[in-house]
Amino acid sequence: MNYHWNWGILLEPSPDGQGTYLNMLLGGLRWTVLTSLAAWAVALVFGSLVGVMRTLPSWIAVHLGGAYIELFRNIPLLVQLFLWFFVIPELLPHDWGVWVKHLRYGAFYTAVVAIGLYMSARVATQVSAGINALPKGQSMAGTAIGLTPAQTYRYILLPMAYRIVLPPLTSEFLNTIKNTSVALTIGLMELTGAARSMQEFSFHVFEAFTAATVIYLALNAVVTIGMRALERALAVPGFNAAR
Amino acid sequence: MRMTRIIVAGCLAAAFAVPAAAQELTGTLKKIKDTGTITIGYRESSVPFSYLDDNQKPVGFAMDICAAIVAAVKGNLKLDKLEVKYNPVTSATRIPLIANGTVDLECGSTTNNVERQKQVSFTNTHFLTASRFVSKKASNIKSIADLAGKTVVSTSGTTNIRQVTEVNAAKGLNINILPAKDHAEAFLMVETDRAVAFVMDDILLASLVAGSKDPKAYVISDDAFSLPEPYGIMLRREDAPFKAVADGATAALYKSPEIVTLYAKWFQSPIPPKNLNLDVPLGAPLKKAFANPTDSGDPAAY
Amino acid sequence: MFSDFDFGVIWRALPYLFKEGMTFTLTLTAVATVGGVMLGTVIALLRLSSLPVLPKLAAGYVNVMRALPLVLVIFLFYFLMPYVGQWALRTSQPIQVGALSSTIITFTLFEAAYFAEIMRAGIQSIPHGQVAAGYAIGLTYRQVMSYVVLPQAFRNMLPVIFTQTIVLFQDTSLVYVLSITDFLGAASKVAQRDGRLTEMYLFAAAVYFLISFTASMLVKRLQARISIVR
């Protein structure tokens, strides 16, 4: 392979004045982690709401939840990202649109909303599967001891459901991390974007992308190990919902 | 290792033409002769150098220059037929794609500088342009200093984004630099008020403004991030025979009266897709560069 | 809000969007699915085999691919593939790989990791007694796999494979980062040329939705019809 490797490039200064190219990649890692965590929070909140809706004894709620899941599942993430970034601000009242577009970290907020909602459809599927995996007796017992439906969900069903579906949720969280890379298309300088940018400035294509690959593998390993420990600690004896 | 090599070779053999037996030819010329094809990298929106017309076909000043190079290659190799393939490139992908052999000639608006010459090679200069920025008149931005604290867009992988990054770091302007995939997308960021300014080569800015919905709403800065820098057709490094053919073809074209016609066709007449006339006269430095063709990457040489 | 919504832009762009864009998207989806399933099956068999080293290698491949974002892999492979070709074929120059071939190889290699996991689950869903019975009547490993295990595994996993294909279909939109004219690439080129982002991106979203949604409904019906045979 007649490519001139030079790993020393990582320690050379980058033109952004923030230090070396390695610093640039680590800066990208910081955005990847921040975006993943924020998007995951959005995904958990909306995913839980919709997941619960899917299990309510109301025809309308079930179908609204179903429509939500189908809508967010069947449009590619990149297209959803473009809709949030390019289209939605144009459909807002003029002043709001301008305000949104002038946000300093617009690409970050857009990525959090877009990736968060995209992932929420997947989280919703898991949450409703978790609730459905519980014996009917559990919610009946809740009603029997005088809990309102909200209380039944809050104190009985959801805590159990989350513990049961923790393993699939782990893999959805890992997907969230990977999906943040799509946000480079709207200018977010996350890890893949930083690697691309390093390649453009230094012309060392493979050092840049190999370094990013190693960082992704390390991040993946750290999250996996952490989540496995959490799964072991929270596993519900007798339930084996993990695929 | 050997085994893997054979397996991979087997898998790949189906997808790619295996080059035939060796001749005296080397490098790109050999490849072109063996495969009967030459691959040209074009841009989506480098008006009027290389861009997609109304039928989404690549056209432009640089594309016409490349046609002359292709004709010279065909003659040099004594080929009856030479198939031309087109591969889209962006500012970010063009250099790796030249280096890895995906495209043989990159015909667009690529700045030739000393640093890039360590990675790729350029044929004779076909344009000179300085790095400036465009903004909306309404945002009242007069100088580089006025960009402080604002969001500014530039195309990822260009010398321009590098220059604004360096100025930003050196002067501590706290500019939020947004990288865009291509020039049209970057200009759109200014048009839709995502960014207050777009830093790019002034000729590209001028064509984007001319092609916009409301050309009068925009202004191109007097402040420049650089001296006028040369554009060149990009080819692979360390491929002297191919470069000699390309240099010969471009030098012949630039010295002939035909270049004035070609220049007028793209810069002083209506061009597709919107039949705009950019009306940019042929300046003295570029006239000089056409009379004495050079591939120098040093702006001071012009 | 929608007052200046221009359907004419979409109408005029239709031939380009579908003849160029959608053709690319569907070709890539189809070829990468077939290639991915075949390569994925091989990887799954290797992973479940009792050969030395290979199961670990297969598992390593699957885990690495599944830990990386597709966007990164698309960039990396587009730049890397010609050098791999040069190394494998021992040519003096990097091998030329066109945009379509390059993306097909990238998606095949990437999706193979996901299909391998699906096929592994499929193979493991076949009771071990069937394999033992196969060997007992004198079949070889190859015969047991190709006549007994794989056909059933494939049949059981068909809905999951199709579901993954829908994911793959949506993922092909990411070739946008290479400026390749897939369906989204075509839509965005028209959008930027005519300054009609709202119309084009909404239309692209609607088309992707209709295709994916219809396909996933069909998969659900298929799932109901193919109850798992054991």
CA C65 to chain centre: 13
Instruction: Please report the pLDDT score of residue B55 as a whole number.
Output: 83
Q: Is the pLDDT of residue A127 over 90?
A: yes
Q: Is the link from the previous residue into B48 a cis peptide, with omega within 30 of 0? A: yes
Cβ contacts of A132 within 8 Å, gap of 6 or more = A55
Full pLDDT tens readout for chain B, 302 residues: 455 555 555 444 434 433 344 447 888 999 999 999 999 999 988 999 999 988 889 999 999 999 999 999 999 999 999 999 999 999 999 999 999 999 999 999 999 999 999 999 999 999 999 999 999 999 999 999 999 999 999 999 999 999 999 999 999 999 999 999 999 999 999 998 999 999 999 999 999 999 888 999 999 999 999 999 999 999 999 999 999 999 999 999 999 999 999 999 999 999 988 888 999 999 999 999 999 999 999 999 99
Query: Residues of C with CB below 8 A from B15's CB?
Result: 97, 101, 105
HSE-CB of B272 using CA atoms within 13 angstroms: 13
Instruction: Assess if residue A37 is contained within a domain.
Output: yes
Please give the radius of gyration of chain C, using alpha carbons only, rounded to the nearest integer.
21
How many angstroms separate the CA of residue C166 from the nearest CA in chain A? 8
Q: What is the mean pLDDT of residues C113-142?
A: 94
Q: What is the DSSP letter of C229?
A: P
Residue C33: strand, helix, or coil: helix
CA distance C85 to chain B (A): 7
Q: Return the partners of chain B (3 or more C-beta pairs < 8 Å).
A: A, C
| Nearest CA-CA partner of A201 in B148, C166, B165 | B165
pLDDT in tens, C66-108: 999 999 999 999 999 999 988 888 887 888 888 899 999 999 9
Kindly identify which residue of chain A lies nearest to residue B163, measuring between CA atoms. A15
pLDDT in tens, A7-54: 999 999 998 888 899 999 999 999 999 999 999 999 999 999 999 999
Which 8-state DSSP code applies to residue C51?
Answer: -
At C8-59, the pLDDT tens digits run: 888 888 999 999 999 999 999 999 999 999 999 999 999 999 999 999 999 9
Query: Residue C150 — pLDDT band, cuts 50, 70, 90?
Result: very high
Query: Residues of C with CB below 8 A from B88's CB?
Result: 99, 178-181
Residue A156 CA to its chain's centroid (Å): 26
Contact C183, C205 (CB under 8 A): no
Interchain proximity A213–C176, CB inside 8 Å: no
d(CA B275, CA B279): 12
Q: How many CA atoms lie within 13 A of C140 on its CB side?
A: 2
Q: Do C208 and A178 touch (CB under 8 A)?
A: no
Torsion over CA: C74, C79, C80, C83 (sign): positive
CB contact under 8 A, C68 and A216: yes
Question: What is the residue whose two structure tokens read 């200069």?
Answer: B125
Dist CA A130 CA A231 (whole Å): 15
Q: Which domain holds residue A176?
A: 7-234
The closest alpha carbon to C211, from A74, A111, A38, B266, belongs to: A74
How many A×B Cβ pairs under 8 Å? 56
Q: Is B66 on the interface with C (CB under 8 A)?
A: no
Q: Binning pLDDT at 50, 70 and 90, where does residue C135 land?
A: very high
Can you tell me the distance from the alpha carbon of A50 to that of B114, in angstroms, rounded to the nearest whole number? 57
> Does residue A242 form part of some domain?
no
Distance from CA of B194 to the nearest CA of A (A): 5
Chain B: closest CA distance from residue A195 (Å): 11
CA distance B270 to chain A (A): 31
- Locus of tokens 């091989």: C42
Chain-chain contact of B179 with A189 (C-beta, under 8 angstroms): yes
Q: Does position C228 have pLDDT exceeding 70, yes or no? A: no
| Distance from the C13 Cα atom to the nearest Cα atom in chain B, whole angstroms | 10
Question: Do the Cβ atoms of B156 and A107 come within 8 Å?
Answer: no
Tell me whether residues A76 and C83 touch, CB distance under 8 A: no
Å from A143 to nearest chain C CA?
34
- Residue B5 is predicted with a pLDDT of 59
Do the beta carbons of residue B45 and residue B183 sit within 8 Å?
yes
Interface test with A, best of C66, C107, C162, C209 (most A CBs within 10 A): C209
Whether A86 and C202 lie within 8 Å, measured CB to CB: no
Among A74, A198, A210, A228, the residue to mutate for chain C (most C Cβ within 10 A):
A74
The SS3 of residue A20 is: strand
Alpha helix (H) residue ranges in chain C: 7-16, 23-48, 54-67, 70-89, 99-124, 128-136, 141-143, 150-171, 183-194, 197-225
| Residue C71 contacts B where some CB pair is shorter than 8 Å | no
Kindly report the CATH number assigned to the domain that includes residue A51: 1.10.3720.10
Nearest CA in chain A to B120: A203
The Cα–Cα gap between C226 and C191 comes to 43
Q: To 10 degrees, the CA torsion angle through C184, C187, C190, C191?
A: -100
C-alpha distance from residue B286 to each of A71, B124, B159 (Å): 55, 11, 20
Q: What is the CATH number of domain C7-225?
A: 1.10.3720.10
CATH numbers and ranges of domains, chain B: 26-128+229-301 (3.40.190.10), 131-220 (3.40.190.10)
The share of chain A scoring above pLDDT 70, in percent, equals 97
**Residues in B touching A107 (Cβ below 8 Å):** 178
Half-sphere exposure of B117 (CA within 13 A, CB side): 13
The whole-number pLDDT of residue B16 equals 42
Block residue for tokens 């993306």: C103
CA distances from B92 to A34, C75, C83, C188 (A): 25, 10, 19, 18
Q: How far is B187 from chain A (nearest CA, A)?
A: 13
Q: Which residue of C has its CA nearest to A174?
A: C67
CB C83 within 8 A of CB A1: yes
Between helix B61-76 and helix B240-255 the angle, nearest 10°, is 120
The nearest CA of chain B is from the CA of A149 a distance in Å of 45
Query: In this predicted structure, what is the pLDDT of residue C227?
Result: 64
Q: What is the pLDDT of residue B22?
A: 42
What DSSP designation does C19 have?
A: I
* Residue A31 included in any domain: yes
Residue in B27, B87, B213 nearest the CB of C99: B87
| Cross-chain Cβ contact C197/A87 below 8 Å | yes
Question: What pLDDT sits at residue C107?
Answer: 98
Q: Are B133 and B198 in contact (CB under 8 A)?
A: yes
DSSP string, A154-196: IIIIHHHHHHHTHHHHHHHHHHHHHHGGGGGGGT---HHHHHH
Interface of B with A (CB under 8 A): 91-92, 95-96, 99, 116, 118-119, 151, 153, 156-157, 161-162, 165-166, 168-170, 176, 178-181, 188, 192-194
Closest CA relative to residue A187, chosen from B151, C75, C20 = B151
Tell me whether residue A243 is in a domain: no
% of chain A exceeding 90 in pLDDT: 85
Q: Average pLDDT of A46-65? A: 96
**CA–CA–CA angle A27, A33, A34 (5° rounding):** 90
Q: What is the largest CA-CA distance in chain C?
A: 74
Residue A241 lies in a domain: no
The structure tokens 């809740």 sit at A142
Sole residue written with tokens 């593939």: C81
Note the pLDDT of residue A240.
57
Smallest CA–CA distance, residue A86 to chain B, in Å, is 9
Q: Do A70 and C205 touch (CB under 8 A)?
A: no
**Chain C contacts in chain B segment 149-208 (CB below 8 A):** 181-182, 184-185, 188, 191-192
Residue A210 half-sphere exposure toward CB, CA atoms < 13 A: 10
The SS3 call for residue C73 is helix
Whether the predicted pLDDT of A2 surpasses 80: no
Q: What is the mean pLDDT of residues A51-64?
A: 95
Q: By three-state DSSP, how is residue A150 classified?
A: helix
A103, A188, A200: best mutation site toward chain B, by most B Cβ within 10 Å? A200
Instruction: Report pLDDT for A104.
Output: 86
**Contact between chains at C70 and A178 (C-beta distance less than 8 A):** yes
Comparing A240 with B33, which gets the higher pLDDT? B33
Closest CA to A115 of A42, A30, A220, A63: A42
Of B96, B116, B118, the CB nearest to A205: B96
Q: What is the pLDDT of residue C193?
A: 81
**Distance (Å) from the alpha carbon of B16 to chain C's nearest alpha carbon:** 7
Alpha helices by DSSP H, listed for chain A, are: 21-53, 59-73, 77-82, 88-91, 94-101, 106-133, 136-144, 149-151, 158-164, 166-179, 191-202, 205-234
Chain C residues 106-165 with a CB less than 8 Å from chain B? none
The total number of structural domains that make up chain A: 1
Three-state SS for chain B is: CHHHHHHHHHHHHHHCCCCCCCCCCCHHHHHHHHHCEEEEEECCEECCCEEECCCCCEECHHHHHHHHHHHHHHHHCCCCCCEEEEEECCCCCHHHHHHCCCCCEEEEEEECCCCHHHCEEECCCCEEECEEEEEEHHHCCCCHHHHCCCEEEEECCCHHHHHHHHHHHHHCCCCEEEEECCHHHHHHHHHCCCCCEEEEEHHHHHHHHHHCCCHHHEEECCCCCCCCEEEEEEEECCCHHHHHHHHHHHHHHHHCCHHHHHHHHHHCCEECCCCEECCCCCCHHHHHHHHCCCCCCCHHHC
Q: How far is C74 from C28, CA to CA, in rounded Å?
A: 13
Touching chains, C (3+ CB pairs < 8 A): A, B
The token pair at B164 is 């604004």
Q: Kindly provide the b/e burial profile for residues B252-279, where b requires at least 16 CB atoms within 10 angstroms of the residue's own CB.
A: ebbeeeebeebbeebbeeebbbeebebe
Three-state DSSP class for residue A39: helix
Which residue among B156, B166, B170 places its CB closest to the CB of A200? Answer: B156
Task: Look at residue A239 and tell me if it is in a domain.
Answer: no
Measured between beta carbons, the chain B residues lying within 8 angstroms of C84 are 8, 12
| Distance from C-alpha of A31 to C-alpha of A188, rounded to nearest angstrom | 8
Q: What is the pLDDT, as a whole number, of residue C229?
A: 53
Q: Alpha-carbon dihedral of residues B148, B149, B153, B157, nearest 10 degrees? A: 80
Cβ–Cβ of B188/C180 closer than 8 Å? no
Taking CA–CA distances from B3, the nearest residue in chain C reads C88
Tokens of B80: 């009856």
Q: Is the peptide bond before B273 cis (omega within 30 degrees of 0)?
A: yes
User: Which of A77, A86, A220 is opposite residue C197, by nearest beta carbon?
Assistant: A86
Return phi, psi of residue B226, to 5°.
-155, 165
What pLDDT score was predicted for residue B8? Answer: 57
Local structure of C165: helix, strand or coil: helix
Which of C164, C172, C162 is closest to C204 using CA atoms?
C172
The whole-angstrom distance between residue C23's C-alpha and the CA centroid of its chain comes to: 16
Are A86 and C201 a contacting pair at CB < 8 A? yes
C86/A1 touch (CB, cutoff 8 Å), yes or no: yes
